[in-house]
Structure 1
């Protein structure tokens, strides 16, 4: 994609949308995208419903999995084998809770980015910001694709291709595997196994999305801050060169004042 701000603005509506679009795509499906003044009532209700559904799906995997490790009489190898996927669900659930609790802080940072794009009007400075925004988008997109692909591949291997055939008396039973085996549920029965596997796929999507959402926000915010610092360096260099050629003290004071004010804004 070209680094021309005008082209980007025509395509995305405004330049700030290019910076935060990837984060919105990641966080909206799990109801973790901040609610703004422009959010409609339907979107607010949908976000709340998504939050409740995502929590229910996640806890449906986490709670039976924890009970299985604590109460099931299995050897240590099987418990450690289950502990790996279950720890991912637990940490992902914690990430999800933090994202929901920090919605106001995320909203503040997003508005900060939008304001920066409105304040910076010079084409050269916008190109610097656009370059860093592109980096943040690429990192967020790569994290989402890599983590979702890895987790879903693991779920497919655990739930579809992992099964054991055992003989109980004159009967032959097929014991199907799951990423997080639940406690006291008849997963050897095919319909029940498929239902539980489906819910674990959904819960894997929720917890992995929360992790990728956190990484994506960190990448976009950090790359935006780097872009602002790069712009400030350009301003300082321009001020130094102009000050050597010009004797206008008032213009110099105004310029250095703008640089200091922008620096303080970056630090906030």
Structure 2
């Protein structure tokens, strides 16, 4: 019976469902990059209108973040004298500053991301075995779940902190004042933000910037999740082919040597892994530094809110703490997953019944086993290797810095 999941295209057997599969894999990433105006930078096949809208959105997004960063830093370092208040203001402003840096990196790395996306699309086009396609769909579903979880934590905690908590927290209810709060300080030196419509405009700009910041953070997570889970799917396909070597010892004349095909595809996986590392290392470095600092500050905010019996502030800060902890865990987890999966090729090459293969084929497996001893790694700026050990170090470092902050503020 003819397999309707594949067809001959340009002389090669290809997956006829590749358009739907590519859309399923990249859909959430595309949404996020369109939201922050970056999609035309990583996808050259866009219209002039999309490019124009992208330029307008990028300028608006970056300007809104500068609208927060410049006055807030001026207020923290030159106006505010109370150390406790400085620490309270520093967390949101530092997150905005690191988000602006991350936003710039996402824009400047557009061509690297496009190269990785092209590789993903090529793999979806050429997969013709329904079983292998199922493996790739399984890992694409995992990436979508990871992205959804990251977005849910970030947006729920972040938007709650920037909107609801500012108006209904216990501190504001106890103040007998008509003062309308803003998350980011510093505008009093330049203008009066309390009268309408100035307050509404400033507050709306803050909300717009918040959406851009959390979308940029989620977009960075989506890239790591999509690329690494795609690599994992390709590795599982190679492992399945390695196990089929013994079963398919005899091949028809004219067919390509299956072992040479496995080695060729393994080399392609390693090259793709190198491209992913080149594309994400700066973003990962910013994320590790940002998460360590934010986790430390949020732990401090949770303690202060708990001491003040402010339940809403405690829950909101705890949600944000879980969010940043989970998100740095995702980066470290995908780094660990990448190295572990690549090692499995060598382990499975040895565990198959290689002694039943022709001697020349059995000798050739040594190459795969040797290469797998040096798996590709995802790093933060070529300085920090992303792994579960790194996540443990980040968590411990945040607690160390928390103790320093408490000692400094109580001194």
TM bucket (normalised to shorter chain) is: 0.7 to 0.9
Q: Distance in 2 between matches of 1:18 and 1:73?
A: 49
Question: Deviation of residue 25 (structure 1)?
Answer: 0.6
Q: Check whether the contact 1:23–1:217 (CA below 8 A) recurs between aligned residues.
A: yes
SS at match of 1:14: helix
Q: Distance in 1 between matches of 2:251 and 2:215?
A: 56
Please state if 1:112 is matched with 2:122: no
1:186 matched to which residue of 2?
A: 192
SS at match of 2:168: coil
Greater relative CO, 1 or 2 (CA 8 Å, sep 6+):
1
Q: Residues 185-236 of structure 1: CA distance to partner in whole angstroms, max 9, x if unpaired? A: 3233353222211111110111111111000110111110000000000011
Q: Distance in 2 between matches of 1:95 and 1:165?
A: 38
Q: Check whether the contact 1:140–1:217 (CA below 8 A) recurs between aligned residues.
A: no
Q: Distance in 2 between matches of 1:89 and 1:221?
A: 26
Q: Distance in 2 between matches of 1:48 and 1:148?
A: 25
Change (3 A) 1:37 1:176: closer
Please state if 1:29 is matched with 2:53: no
TM-score (norm 2): 0.58
Q: Distance in 1 between matches of 2:183 and 2:18?
A: 40
Please state if 1:255 is matched with 2:262: no
Q: Check whether the contact 1:158–1:177 (CA below 8 A) recurs between aligned residues.
A: no
2:26 matched to which residue of 1?
A: 20
TM-score (norm 1): 0.87
2:356 matched to which residue of 1?
A: none
Q: Distance in 2 between matches of 1:14 and 1:108?
A: 20
1:73 matched to which residue of 2?
A: 80
Change (3 A) 1:176 1:266: same
Q: Give the RMSD, CA atoms, in angstroms.
A: 2.4
From 43, 46, 51, the equivalent of 1:44 is 51
Please state if 1:265 is matched with 2:268: yes
From 217, 227, 231, the equivalent of 2:223 is 217
Q: How many residues in Structure 1 have an aligned counterpart in Structure 2?
A: 254
Of 111-120 and 26-35, deviating more is 26-35
Question: Deviation of residue 158 (structure 1)?
Answer: 4.6
Structure 2: runs of 5+ lacking an equivalent:
7-14, 272-411
Question: Deviation of residue 110 (structure 1)?
Answer: 0.7
Q: Check whether the contact 1:164–1:174 (CA below 8 A) recurs between aligned residues.
A: no
Q: Check whether the contact 2:80–2:86 (CA below 8 A) recurs between aligned residues.
A: no
Q: Check whether the contact 1:57–1:202 (CA below 8 A) recurs between aligned residues.
A: yes
1:202 matched to which residue of 2?
A: 208
Q: Distance in 2 between matches of 1:11 and 1:150?
A: 38
Of 81-90 and 123-132, deviating more is 81-90
Of 152-161 and 84-93, deviating more is 152-161
Q: Distance in 2 between matches of 1:11 and 1:228?
A: 18
2:292 matched to which residue of 1?
A: none
Structure 1: runs of 5+ lacking an equivalent:
167-171
Q: Distance in 2 between matches of 1:120 and 1:137?
A: 20
